Amino acid sequence: MRNILRKEVRLSSSVLSFLFILFGLMFLIPGYPILCSAFFVSLGIFQSFQTAREANDIVFSALLPIAKKDVVKGKFLFVCLIEACALLLMTLAVILRMTVFSAAPVYRSNALMNANFFALAVALLIFGLFNLIFVGGFFKTAYRFARPFVIYIIAAFLIIFAAETLHHVPGLEILNAFGTDYLAIQLTLLAVSVILFLLMTVYSCKRACEDFERIDL
Amino acid sequence: MIAEVRDLVKRYPSFELDHVSFGLESGRITGFIGRNGAGKTTTVKAMLNLIHPDSGSVCFFGMPLAGNETEIKKRIGYSTGTVSWYPRKKIGSIIDIVKRFYETWDEEACRTYLDLFRIDARKTPLELSEGMKVKLNLALALSHKAEVLILDEPTSGLDPFSRNELLELFLGLKEKGVAVFFSTHIISDIEKSADDIVYISGGKIIAALPKEAFTLQYSLTGETLEDTMLRLEGGFIHA
């Protein structure tokens, strides 16, 4: 898998996938719908799929001395690598906002979602949806990606909209906790999100392997 | 037999590969001839596991392709025409990635073939002519000591000099015991280099014979192979 991941990084990817990881730091921007940063990160990954398609990457990979399912696993591995890097930046931003900047007025007067573990959980959910809808959808044909990407955009923005709305609902203000308030609940929600992300990604990868095995290139 | 295609069937709405069978031997060059749309590329794709036949099997080194894909692909080389991979990446970078997938990769051989084909590893595939792209694919295939070479239309689009160079190269590989299988619609290429002929028309194998046997069976007195093929194709068209 190391060789196929190396191929993904050095041959198949777009530089934008790596640059857009920096959008993870948008979690530091006050008064901004920070969950959009997860969407921007996935937009960067989408660029790699576009670059790879232009370069006949899928057929090239299928001709390498590896099993066809490893081509799919390589793509998922690359996507998860980018998502993990972005998530790392988001986590750093969350920790900064929860500790050093927890009392900063610019964050305290924020009408939009705060950078906390719940926000991180939602970002992870958006990444999970990207893996499920877009990456899995792409491997139904290994060629067409417009439809799965449009469906993913709709799903991602519905999630962002829902997350930005929920904390305004009476009783759910805890979702917008500052600092270390309601830490146990936040961490629980994050743990649930991690499980959902893993379920979506593993299911999508398994399904994509089966789809890719079936299609003619 | 180093490779065997047996009863391959692949149905499309407007075309059918109809029980295609033939074999390849070590140290022999097999020309796979047929007009455009006869089923050459479909057969080659099935041999490379890029498409799934409805029935039939492909075996290499006595192993079925299904279930032994990785092992087999390590021992075969391929070139799918002039398709260029990663057109904007440096050839050197592409080679650096590809070689890691083959335990048998021969760095020295790779350098030799790049020099022989006058391919500059600092260039990108986009900067190569169609003929040079074929040569790059060949250099990659030959650098991992492939025992069987499967080449889809390697001479199409090449100038006569490059075609001749390529056919000479095939003859050199044959001497080394490599089985070369190349599809073409250029009959003179077969005449010049092939030991065996697999002739496909309308998705059906019409003949899979040594060249001499093919000529004996199908050619009229004084006919060249090209005349024979044109007559046969004419016959099949009007049949």
Kindly list the residues from chain A whose CB atom is less than 8 angstroms away from the CB atom of residue B78: 63
Instruction: Provide ipTM, 2 decimals.
Output: 0.86
Contact B85 A6 (CB under 8 A): no
Confidence check: pLDDT of B239 > 60? no
- What tokens were used for B238? 């009007």
Q: What is the pLDDT of residue B81?
A: 66
Q: What is the pLDDT of residues B143-168, one digit of tens each?
A: 998 999 999 888 877 788 888 888 89
Listing from the earlier edge strand, what are the strands of the sheet with B196-201?
B63-64, B55-60, B3-12, B15-24, B204-210, B196-201, B29-33, B179-184, B148-152, B76-80
Confidence check: pLDDT of A24 > 90? yes
Domain extent at residue B65: 3-238
Task: Point out the residue among A6, A214, A216 whose CB comes nearest to the CB of B100.
Answer: A6
Q: What is the pLDDT of residues B41-57, one digit of tens each?
A: 999 999 999 999 999 99
Q: What is the pLDDT of residues B106-135, one digit of tens each?
A: 999 999 999 988 899 999 999 988 778 888
Kindly list the residues from chain A whose CB atom is less than 8 angstroms away from the CB atom of residue B66: none
> pLDDT class for A57, splitting at 50, 70, 90?
very high
Confidence check: pLDDT of B104 > 50? yes
Confidence check: pLDDT of B170 > 70? yes
Contact A6 B94 (CB under 8 A): no
Q: Is A67 on the interface with B (CB under 8 A)?
A: yes
Count the domains in chain B: 1
Pair A120, A189: CB distance under 8 Å: no
Tell me which chain A residue has its CA closest to the CA of residue B51. Answer: A216
Q: What is the pLDDT of residue A125?
A: 97
Q: What is the pLDDT of residue A33?
A: 94
Q: Is A3 on the interface with B (CB under 8 A)?
A: yes
- Residues with Cβ within 8 Å of A135's Cβ and at least 6 positions away in sequence, in order, are A75, A76, A79, A204, A205, A208
Kindly list the residues from chain B whose CB atom is less than 8 angstroms away from the CB atom of residue A56: 83-86
Pair B46, B8: CB distance under 8 Å: yes
Nearest-angstrom CA–CA distance, B152 and B28: 17
Count the domains in chain A: 1
Q: What is the pLDDT of residues A144-153, one digit of tens each?
A: 999 999 999 9
Among B24, B14, B49, smallest CA distance to B148 is for B24
> pLDDT class for B83, splitting at 50, 70, 90?
low
Contact A66 B101 (CB under 8 A): yes
- Chain-centroid distance, C-alpha A73: 16
Q: What is the pLDDT of residues B184-232, one digit of tens each?
A: 888 888 988 999 999 999 999 999 999 999 999 988 888 888 888 888 8
Contact B50 A59 (CB under 8 A): yes
Tell me which chain B residue has its CA closest to the CA of residue A54. Answer: B86
Q: What is the pLDDT of residue A4?
A: 95
What CATH number is attached to the domain comprising B137?
3.40.50.300
